[in-house]
Amino acid sequence: MNIDLTGKTALVTGSTQGIGLAIAQGLASTGARVVVNGRSRDRVDEAVAKIGGDAVGVAADVASADGAETLFGELPHVDVLVNNLGIFGAVPAREITDEQWRTYFEVNVLAAARLIRHYLPGMVERHWGRVLQIASDSAIVTPEEMIHYGVSKTALLALSRGFAKDAAGTGVTVNSVIAGPTHTAGVEEFVYQLVDQSLPWEKAQREFMRLHRPQSLIQRLIEPEEIANMVTYLASPLASATTGGALRVDGGYVDAILP
């Protein structure tokens, strides 16, 4: 496939590391002008340097209204919006506090809604745009060790479907990508919350998959670049007939035909 996003500006939130950085690199490889986002100026600058080319960075906490306004001031319009920002962590179900529920909703759901609300009108006016939410297998298979996270990712699927309907017939597509268990620094920390911390990483990963993600058909963690490949395709003109969907890059983890 020849994916060419030359002349398009793509914003990836939470893109200083992990899946977000891989997505930014993937979009940059297609010729897009990529905007890296994170809370720390130093980490944003480091990510921009890794990507190279026309990449630029905006340091702003888009999980807050003030941070989003900072972003909008520096970047009023985009052609591709990738809502990758998200937090996760294991908490026993009956110990999740009201404050934790609020925080997960504000970071994982409201931040995405806020950015869509700002950038979608310009895309509709230009008759072209791509909005993508990075969801999770936890949106469908709610994990007992982090229900609050799973609920927030389920909400992202509904958010995408609803805004896809809002953008119907405009040339703008809105989709979610359901990412399965993925190898990132944050996930390494999470794995060691659930398995013996004395185990070397390769053994710890296998033990985690065996005990906590046995449904995986690839029986390994997904690499961030594999998520980025799907996002890059969905952001391209080649995916013009795909909207309102929840596309899976889950290693076969979700035991269902749809989505």
Distance of CA 43 to the CA centre of its chain: 18
Distance from C-alpha of 151 to C-alpha of 108, rounded to nearest angstrom: 10
Distance from C-alpha of 171 to C-alpha of 94, rounded to nearest angstrom: 44
pLDDT tens digits along 68-123: 999 999 999 999 999 999 999 989 999 999 999 999 999 999 999 999 999 999 99
Active site residue 149: yes
pLDDT tens digits along 177-193: 999 999 988 889 989 99
- Domain parsing of the chain, residue ranges: 9-182+223-249, 185-221
| pLDDT for position 135 | 98
**Number of neighbouring beta carbons within 10 Å of residue 7:** 9
User: What CATH superfamily is the domain 9-182+223-249?
Assistant: NAD(P)-binding Rossmann-like Domain (3.40.50.720)
Q: Which of 119, 149, 192, 253 is the catalytic position? A: 149
State the chain's mean pLDDT as an integer.
96
214: burial class by Cβ within 10 Å (0-12, 13-18, 19+)? exposed
